Amino acid sequence: MMSIKLGDTAPDFTAETSLGDLNFYEYLGNSWGILFSHPADYTPVCTTELGYTSKLTVEFDKRGTKVLALSVDGVEDHQNWIRDINETQNTEVLFPIIADKGRKVSELYDFIHPNASASATVRSLLIIDPDKKVRLIITYPASTGRNFNEILRVLDALQLADSHKIATPANWENGDDVIVPPAISTEDAKNIFPKGVKEIKPYLRYTPQPNI
């Protein structure tokens, strides 16, 4: 078992899924990726999470992001559970769910925390960039459903930071002002960010979001 940290290269794997055998790197291609684990099939919180994720397909597509779920149950259970999700959540799950009965991927990604459960995966989520680097890790308790609006917000912030070399302040939402990183001088920032730079302190400077 290894511990995945921010900035690590996400390990590649081949696994059986609800949509057939899949190689992780081939599935992602040059896209961003979200890999998220679930304690078990036929659980109520996971049912709502997978349903809501499915409803965000258009939003993930806009961000060039592919989704991949994981549970330690088998393919047949996954496929039957997907029918339940589609029925109860009024959606159609089209992304694959890894069948990790042997816990190969779960152990590779440190999704099993013995103090929580010796066998079931925790509710973890990773954002992985096109270079296969891990950019976000969030782990929730089994009783608490994930906030996928927050996942979209972080995706926006990461992609904006990569393309425009900025940072985002607390509670940033798409369209808000962003932060000029300390490594950029105020003089250089005024050339880099033509919409203007507002200096609060020499180390705290804002500029309007560059891509809107």
**What phi and psi, each to the nearest 5 degrees, are found at residue 12?**
-80, 155
> Which of 189, 146, 154, 145 lies closest to 65, judged by CA?
154
Residue ranges of the alpha helices (H) in 24-95? 24-28, 44-55, 57-62, 75-89
Choosing from 28, 34, 46, 197, which is the catalytic residue?
46
Say how many C-beta atoms besides its own lie within 10 A of residue 153's C-beta: 16
The label of the residue with tokens 């081949």 reads 14
Lookup result for tokens 């926006």: 156
141 included as an active-site residue: no
DSSP character string of 184-210: S-HHHHHHH-TT--EEEETTEEEE--T
* Contact in structure between 69 and 41 (CB atoms under 8 Å): no
Catalytic residues: 46
